[in-house]
Amino acid sequence: MKVLIVDDEEMIRNVLKEYVEFEGGAAYEAQDGMQAVKMCREQDFDIILMDVMMPKLDGFSAVKEIKKIKNIPVIMLSARGEEYDKLFGFEIGVDDYVTKPFSPKEVMARIHAVTKRHSAPPTPDVVTFEGLTIDMAGRNVYVDGEKAELTPKEYEILFYFVKNKGIALTREKLLMDVWGFDFYGDDRTVDTHIKMLRSNLKQYRKFIVTLRGLGYKFEV
């Protein structure tokens, strides 16, 4: 895995580089946005860790330039945690956002999650399991032709199940991938939402299998 670390603080670059290399990856460094864009023109990377506030060219501007030439996943690193910054980052194509100070272990976990999503084969826009139809792009679910009224979180859980069909998913994994690292909750949150989701799926609740002592699996 080739990781480009872009930050004007050498200490941060060194820490992240150490963790990337410890896990067998190859770390490359850039100290500002202009250098990062130049490096992306010259070679490919599996993922970019991009600071926001940097001299010469800020992180957001650098991401815009890089996205014009290559589709490389990006995780933004910033000391600013304002919602506007995060929304703007996602709008320009950023995959994830980490607020400083951060745990290097958390950053590595996010790297693995983002690269896994990008390497996974695309899920069809519409999938059907017996009388259950799931429109991924339109965020619609139909039970025997009748539209099911799901909450946004129930949609996310169901779509995540479909994308990971046949895979055993722990409650911790669901919390991490569906709710995110910044969510403070426990296993009961997962169980409560899945209970509501099952109710809305009616007889097709059978596809969501409980794995005692572990979590759940979407099995058809």
- Per residue in 76-86, pLDDT (tens digit) is 998 776 677 77
Q: Where are the beta strands (DSSP E) in the chain?
A: 2-6, 26-30, 47-51, 74-78, 96-99, 126-129, 132-135, 140-143, 146-147, 169-170, 208-211, 215-218
What distance lies between CA 108 and its chain's CA centroid?
Answer: 12
Higher pLDDT, 82 or 179: 179
pLDDT (average), residues 24-47: 95
| Helix or strand run (H / E) with residue 93 | none
pTM of the model: 0.57
201: CB partners within 8 A, 6+ apart: 132, 141, 143, 148, 158, 207, 208
How far is the C-alpha of 87 from the C-alpha of 78, rounded, in Å?
Answer: 13
CATH of domain 2-119: 3.40.50.2300
Question: Which CATH code fits 126-218?
Answer: 1.10.10.10
CA distance 156 to 136: 10
Residue 49 near residue 5 (C-beta atoms within 8 A):
yes
Least confident of 73-82, 107-116, 151-160, 205-214: 73-82
Task: Give the integer Cα–Cα distance in Å for 207 and 220.
Answer: 6
Structure token pair of residue 218: 């979407």
- Locate the domains of the chain by residue range: 2-119, 126-218
Q: What band does 61 get if pLDDT is binned at 50, 70 and 90? A: very high
Amino acid, res. 122: P
Nearest to 34 by CA among 14, 15, 50: 50
Contacts of 159 (CB under 8 A, 6+ apart): 134, 136
Whether the predicted pLDDT of 14 surpasses 60: yes
Which of the four pLDDT bands, split at 50, 70 and 90, describes residue 184? low
Q: Which residues pair with 54 in a beta bridge?
A: none
Q: What is the mean pLDDT of residues 34-39?
A: 96
